[in-house]
Amino acid sequence: MKNLLKKNRVFQRLAALVIVFYTLSIPVWSQAPAGEAAAVKSFYDQALRDSRCYAWLEHLCYQVGHRLSGSVGAERAVAYTKSMLDTLGLDSVWLQPVMVPRWERGAAERVEIKAHKLKLDALALGGSVAGDVRAEVVEVLSWEQLESLGERQLRGKIVFYNRPMDPTRIRTFEAYGGAVDQRVHGASRAAKYGAVGVLVRSMGLRADDYPHTGTLRYDSAYTLIPAAAISTNSADRLSQLLKTEKKVVADLQLHCASYPDVLSYNVIGEIRGSEKPNDMILVGGHLDSWDVGHGAHDDGAGCVQSMEVLRIFRQMNYRPRHTIRCVLFMNEENGLRGGQEYANEANRKGEFHLLAIESDAGGFTPRGFGFDGDPAIADKFFASVEAHRELFEPYGLTLSKGGGGADISPLKSQKGLLSGYIPDSQRYFDYHHTAADTFDTVNRRELELGAASMAVLVYLADKFGL
């Protein structure tokens, strides 16, 4: 009996030590009081009852319009968004200078197969040189095929890249990533073998007549040749014609021009932290857009959602522990100058970004957030929120590893946490980089739910830390 009692006492002591150790090892979020569910709901209530983001987006789309870096539209967007941030009673609002590229599309593009009276819907790729080319078209479905054709079969030809986005990918950004390399690098890789022009199948899953522009990158080792995207319907028509005709000749005419860099700005507003003012929680999107459509989903939606996060905090009279900063980056589409300049300046000032959230995937229904960053911080974060997933579940939000955003990527060296807001992506590439990316394609409630979701993540990160 004595031995049994002694064993019980030993067991009790060990159990007590385990409990103490476990308690000390629980990350701070797991100590959040049960009442946080009500606090989370209050953010959604505020966003859904009294939002400004939809009205801001309407003005940005209809009164400002598309906003390519270096354009008059970009200048107007900077002025408008700063004026709106000035109305929110923030602690600071300012413009951060950044030099950006200036490229103009010029007169309407033309891609035509005259022999068959076939006019293809086309847009010059961003950064393309001008050109007036008449040449035979050669279809290419892979880099391996391009190399096998070589100079003997490609010199003096127009290369037609027709590798589609993979429709079996449920995550459409994965499908985009599997095809976009031909748009970005296709011109120079074709020029290597003597091609005189490039046509690229648009980066979209829907069969339609909207060509998708987007940036290309020239390799200075090769001749700069004109490059244009053609709509998915036009790509299918051209591909079918190439199957029935031995020789198809196209006329490709672009009127693009690049000019010296011009001065532009990142637009920044913040609520200063009461305890850790040099530790930042950032929300942001990119203010520039391509020069077709309104840039509503890409990325007007992300900008107004980020602005709305700060407005919600002000309306709720919440004073954050950390500084909460909204950054509207300039020049994501064709240079990433705004993101790079912002990170350089933050490092110079010794500012640490505990968490940076970017919304740049459209204004659709919220699905969650993806996270990337220093493994120690990322692992701690996931261990912390695991016990509190019930705060996100009523709003249909999931948390996953892997994420971030182009504009916040230069902050990765600070070893904080980067997060990408994830809305439903199934329709995003119907509009991405096209004239169809207009205000009327954005649903007000979906936009507001996204802003509320971002505000909740900021709130929890600020209150309980990472």
CATH number at residue 430: 3.40.630.10
What's the pLDDT band for 149 if we cut at 50, 70, 90? very high
Task: Measure the CA–CA gap between 126 and 333, rounded to whole angstroms.
Answer: 9
For helices 143-154 and 181-191, give the axis angle rounded to 10 degrees.
30
Establish whether 332 is a catalytic residue: yes
Which residues share a beta bridge with 257? 104
The reply to whether 410 falls in a domain is: yes
The reply to whether 10 falls in a domain is: no
CATH number at residue 204: 3.50.30.30
Domain edge (last residue) among 207, 234, 255 = 255
pLDDT value for 5: 39
Q: Among candidates 117, 291, 105, 124, which has minimal Cα distance to 200? A: 124
Residues 209, 228, single domain; the answer is yes
3-class secondary structure per residue, 357-387: EECCCCCCCEEEEEEEECHHHHHHHHHHHHC
The reply to whether 68 falls in a domain is: yes
Q: Taking the model in full, what pTM does it have? A: 0.91
Residues 286, 341, single domain; the answer is yes
356, 322 in Cβ contact below 8 A?
A: no
Is the pLDDT at 464 greater than 90? The verdict is: no
How many C-alpha atoms does 459 have within 13 Å on its Cβ side? 27
Task: Write out the two tokens for 187.
Answer: 């011109």
What's the pLDDT band for 382 if we cut at 50, 70, 90? confident
The reply to whether 78 falls in a domain is: yes
- What 8-state DSSP symbol labels residue 215? B
Residues 330, 284, single domain; the answer is yes
Is the pLDDT at 2 greater than 50? The verdict is: no
What's the pLDDT band for 466 if we cut at 50, 70, 90? low
Element (H, E) at 140: strand 131-140
pLDDT value for 75: 98
Residues 175, 68, single domain; the answer is no
Other CB atoms within a 10 A radius of the CB of residue 399 amount to: 18
Q: Among candidates 233, 32, 203, 237, which has minimal Cα distance to 117? A: 237
Give the active site residue among 58, 139, 270, 332: 332
Residues 241, 279, single domain; the answer is no
pLDDT value for 12: 43
Beta strand segments in 276-340, E: 276-286, 322-329
What pLDDT, in 10s, does the model give residues 228-283?
A: 999 999 999 999 999 999 899 999 999 999 999 999 999 999 999 999 999 999 99
pLDDT value for 108: 86
- Measured in whole angstroms, how far is the alpha carbon of residue 371 from the centre of its chain? 14
**Could you tell me which residues come within 8 angstroms of residue 453 by beta carbon, excluding any fewer than 6 positions away?**
366, 369, 395, 397, 421
Residues 309, 161, single domain; the answer is no
Domain edge (last residue) among 228, 255, 282 = 255
Torsion of CA 12, 17, 19, 22, to 10 degrees: -160
Number of domains in the chain: 2
Residues 251, 186, single domain; the answer is yes
Is the pLDDT at 215 greater than 80? The verdict is: yes
What percentage of the chain has pLDDT greater than the value 90?
85
The reply to whether 316 falls in a domain is: yes
369, 299 in Cβ contact below 8 A?
A: no
Residues 358, 421, single domain; the answer is yes
Residues 66, 90, single domain; the answer is yes
What pLDDT, in 10s, does the model give residues 77-123?
A: 999 999 999 999 999 999 999 999 999 999 889 999 999 999 999 99
The reply to whether 15 falls in a domain is: no
Query: Please, is 393 exposed, middle or buried when counting C-beta atoms within 10 Å of its C-beta (0-12, 13-18, 19+)?
Result: exposed
What's the pLDDT band for 387 if we cut at 50, 70, 90? low
Lowest pLDDT segment from 177-186, 204-213, 243-252, 381-390: 381-390
The reply to whether 444 falls in a domain is: yes
419: left (phi over 0), alpha (psi -120 to 50) or beta: beta
Residues 202, 87, single domain; the answer is no
Residues 145, 229, single domain; the answer is yes
What's the pLDDT band for 374 if we cut at 50, 70, 90? confident
**Could you tell me which residues come within 8 angstroms of residue 122 by beta carbon, excluding any fewer than 6 positions away?**
109, 110, 111, 199, 211, 228, 229, 230, 231, 234
Task: Write out the two tokens for 58.
Answer: 């309407």
Q: Which range of residues forms the domain containing residue 147?
A: 110-255
What pLDDT, in 10s, does the model give residues 6-57?
A: 444 433 443 333 333 233 333 344 445 567 899 999 999 999 999 999 999 9
Other CB atoms within a 10 A radius of the CB of residue 285 amount to: 27
Average pLDDT for 387-396: 86
Domain edge (last residue) among 201, 226, 255 = 255
Which residues share a beta bridge with 93? 269
- List strands edge to edge, sheet with 366-373: 92-104, 257-271, 322-329, 276-286, 352-358, 417-423, 366-373, 398-401
The reply to whether 13 falls in a domain is: no
Residues 218, 272, single domain; the answer is no
What pLDDT, in 10s, does the model give residues 324-365?
A: 999 999 999 999 999 999 999 999 999 999 999 999 999 999
How many C-alpha atoms does 243 have within 13 Å on its Cβ side? 6
pLDDT value for 34: 63
Task: Measure the CA–CA gap between 102 and 137, rounded to whole angstroms.
Answer: 30
